[in-house]
């Protein structure tokens, strides 16, 4: 079976590496992939967001199965287009992907099906949004309705900050048409967690819980990013909490899709806030998370293709996942200036030495080659992942590996998994 992975980040590197180990797979194609996938997969220069180009490439290369990494092609209907050409794919249809493509749709979906979420209002007029904000006396979160590369959610502490967020999104058009509408919601206080499942439209397989670190600096300070690291499992998600998430969030969500006439197949990544011990939904994502995938899939025991194909075909086997390692951590190495503007073309050194450490893998994201040199080409450059028996042990391994890698301007958080590590307790 020939498999194509859509996307170019570390998430896609992880997926491609796992798929390449399957005895079912005869070849892996990355569209477009990165410098890290070149060692074991064919690379195709295609824009992952261009549905027509992706379908054309899959047909011309006689691809049997497609795994879609990023959200934009899913929201643009790439799975529908591939299926119309007789090519099976892992990921939800366009109607299902709208749960991520529109924050307004998602919040109204939660309200309709009784899924706990923060109180909210929707606005398409910035003046009315400002009037509403000034009438509130509590901290608010302002969200652009459409896709904004993970940066369209602005958490505020007072009315002036919330009004400034409205100005950025709706007047300055910082996120383009994604800001035609906004959701203004109550700011929740608690621990944020990521919970993933894979569904075949009827059944679902739960993956392990994880915790992302969105803000750029240690201590959860600074602007939001696409994610500076993650770990799994977070202590706050006990067996009881996980059961509550499945019963009060996952099952009503999948039932809501069915009642809307949507067969949801693929990954569903639910962002939750634990508020006084109870899970409250912040957002839905119609794909695997990044950097969460980097701590989930490397722990997976068995052939990942069983899960991906079962989801796409609607015949997932019942059961629970098995894990090769009890714990994992991912530390993202970023370019100078990220999440703002950043330079490119800076030489990267030390990856081979880091990856030679036991239980450590290095996954590429913003990398390319320049002659014989490996250089930076993106904001998030590498994901350094360690697997092991407990969070303290894997954190020590991950940061030992990080110390071997260098490029000019490299920065990273030194406190990934701080809630679970002894040195922060």
CATH of 119-186, one of 3.40.50.300, 3.30.1490.20, 3.30.70.270, 2.60.40.60: 3.30.1490.20
Task: Give the tokens for residue 342.
Answer: 């950043």
Q: What is the distance between the alpha carbons of residues 297 and 17, in angstroms, rounded to a whole number?
A: 10
Q: Distance between CA atoms of 206 and 240, rounded to whole angstroms?
A: 14
CA-based max dimension of the chain: 61
Query: Is residue 28 within 8 Å of residue 20, measured between CB atoms?
Result: yes
Residue 367's pLDDT is what?
98
Neighbours of 286 (CB within 10 A): 25
Pick the CATH number of 191-313 from 2.30.38.10, 3.40.1800.10, 3.30.470.20, 1.10.10.410: 3.30.470.20
Residue 383 Cα distances to 9, 104, 207, 210, 214, angstroms? 9, 32, 20, 16, 14
Indicate if 327-424 has the same CATH topology as 2-90.
Answer: no
Please report the pLDDT score of residue 224 as a whole number: 85
In the chain, where the domains are located? 2-90, 119-186, 191-313, 327-424
Q: What is the pLDDT along the chain (425 residues), one digit of tens a residue?
A: 999 999 999 999 999 999 999 999 999 999 999 999 999 999 999 999 999 999 999 999 999 999 999 999 999 999 999 999 999 999 999 999 999 999 999 999 999 999 999 999 999 999 999 999 999 888 999 999 999 877 789 999 999 999 999 999 999 999 999 999 999 999 999 999 999 999 999 999 999 999 999 999 999 999 889 999 999 999 999 999 999 999 999 999 999 999 999 999 999 999 999 999 999 999 999 999 999 999 999 999 989 999 999 999 999 987 778 898 999 999 999 999 999 999 999 999 999 999 999 999 999 999 999 999 999 999 999 999 999 999 999 999 999 999 999 999 999 999 999 999 998 87
Q: How far apart are the first and last CA of the chain?
A: 48
State residue 133's pLDDT score. 96
Using CA of residue 96, residue 102, residue 103, residue 108, what is the dihedral sign?
Answer: negative
pLDDT for 149 equals: 78
The CATH class for the domain spanning 2-90 reads alpha beta
Per-residue pLDDT at 318: 73
Res 51: pLDDT: 97
Torsion angle of alpha carbons 362, 366, 370, 372, nearest 10°? 0
Measured over the CA atoms of residue 366, residue 195, residue 151 and residue 179, the dihedral's sign is positive
Residue found under tokens 């300055």: 172
Stated pTM of the model: 0.96
Q: Which of 163, 152, 234, 220 is nearest to 189 (CA)?
A: 220
CB 279 within 8 A of CB 202: no
Strands 265-275 and 278-285: antiparallel
- Cβ contacts of residue 356 below 8 Å, gap of 6+? none
Encoding tokens for residue 233? 């499992």
The pLDDT value recorded for residue 423 is: 87
pLDDT at 215: 93
pLDDT of residue 425: 72
Question: How many Å apart are CA 179 and CA 187, to the nearest integer?
Answer: 19
The predicted structure's pLDDT at residue 344: 97
239 CB-near residues (< 8 Å, 6+ apart): none
- Report the pLDDT value the prediction gives residue 412, as an integer from 0 to 100: 98
Q: Encode pLDDT of 304-321 as tens digits.
A: 999 999 999 999 987 778
Instruction: Report the pLDDT value the prediction gives residue 374, as an integer from 0 to 100.
Output: 97
Using alpha carbons, list the distances in angstroms from residue 141 to 164, 171, 368.
12, 17, 36
Helix/strand/coil (H/E/C) assignment for every residue in the chain: CEEEEEECCHHHHHHHHHHHCCCCCCEEEEEECCCCHHHCCEECCCCCCCHHHHHHHHHHCCCCEEEECCHHHHHCCHHHHHHHCCCEEECCCHHHHHHHHCHHHHHHHHHHCCCCECCEEEECCHHHHHHHHHCCCCCEEEEECCCCCCCCEEECCCHHHHHHHHHHHHHCCCCHHHHCCEEEEECCCCEEEEEEEEEECCCEEECCCEEECCEEECCCEEEECCCCEEEECCCCCCHHHHHHHHHHHHHHHHHHHHHCCCCCEEEEEEEEEEECCEEEEEEEECCCCCCCHHHHHHHECCCHHHHHHHHHHCCCCCCCCCECCCEEEEEEEECCCCCCCCCCCCECECHHHHHCCCCEEEEECCEEEECCEEEECCCEEEEEEEEECCHHHHHHHHHHHHCCCECCCCECCCCCCCCCCHHHC
CATH top class, domain 327-424: alpha beta
Each residue of 251-282: pLDDT tens digit?
Answer: 999 999 999 999 999 999 999 999 999 999 99
Instruction: Characterize 378-414 residue by residue with b for buried, 16 or more Cβ atoms within 10 angstroms of its Cβ, and e for exposed.
Output: bbbbbbbbbbbeebbbbbebbbebbebbebeebebbe
- Rg of the chain on CA atoms, in Å: 21
* Residue 12 confidence (pLDDT): 98
């Amino acid at each position: 079976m020939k498999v194509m992975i859509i996307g170019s980040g570390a998430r896609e590197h992880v997926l491609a590496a796992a798929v390449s180990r399957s005895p079912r797979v005869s070849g892996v194609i990355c569209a477009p992939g990165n410098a890290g996938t070149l060692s074991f997969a064919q690379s195709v220069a295609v824009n992952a967001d261009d549905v027509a180009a992706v379908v054309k490439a899959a047909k011309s290369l006689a691809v049997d199965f497609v795994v879609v990494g990023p959200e934009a092609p899913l929201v643009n209907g790439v799975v529908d287009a591939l299926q119309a050409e007789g090519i099976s794919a892992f990921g939800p249809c366009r109607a299902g992907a709208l749960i991520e493509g529109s924050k307004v749709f998602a919040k109204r979906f939660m309200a309709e099906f009784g899924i706990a979420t923060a109180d909210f209002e929707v606005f398409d007029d910035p003046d009315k949004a400002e009037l509403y904000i000034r009438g509130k006396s509590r901290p608010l979160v302002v969200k652009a309705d459409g896709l904004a590369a993970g940066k369209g959610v602005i958490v505020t502490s007072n009315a002036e900050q919330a009004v400034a967020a409205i100005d950025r999104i709706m007047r300055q058009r910082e996120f383009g048409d994604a800001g035609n509408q906004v959701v203004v919601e109550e700011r929740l206080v608690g621990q944020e967690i990521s919970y993933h499942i894979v569904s075949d439209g009827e059944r679902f397989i739960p993956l392990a819980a994880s915790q992302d670190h969105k803000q750029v600096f240690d201590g959860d300070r600074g602007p939001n990013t696409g994610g500076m690291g993650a770990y799994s499992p977070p202590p706050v998600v006990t067996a009881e909490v996980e059961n509550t998430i499945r019963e009060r969030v996952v099952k009503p969500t999948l039932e809501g899709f069915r009642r809307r006439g949507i067969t949801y197949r693929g990954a569903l990544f639910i962002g939750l806030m634990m508020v006084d011990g109870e899970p409250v939904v912040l957002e839905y994502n119609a794909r695997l998370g990044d950097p969460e995938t980097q701590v989930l899939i490397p722990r997976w025991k068995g052939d990942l293709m069983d899960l991906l194909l079962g989801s796409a075909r609607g015949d997932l086997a019942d059961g629970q996942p098995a894990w090769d390692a009890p714990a994992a951590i991912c530390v993202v190495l970023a370019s100078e200036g990220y999440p703002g503007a950043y330079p490119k073309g800076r030489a990267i050194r030390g990856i081979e030495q880091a990856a030679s450490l036991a239980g450590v893998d290095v996954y590429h994201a913003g990398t390319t080659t320049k002659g014989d040199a490996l250089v930076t080409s993106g904001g998030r450059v590498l994901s350094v992942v360690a697997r092991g028996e407990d969070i303290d042990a894997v954190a020590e391994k991950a940061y030992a590996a990080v110390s071997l890698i260098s490029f000019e301007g490299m920065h990273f958080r030194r406190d990934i998994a701080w809630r679970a590590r002894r040195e922060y307790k």
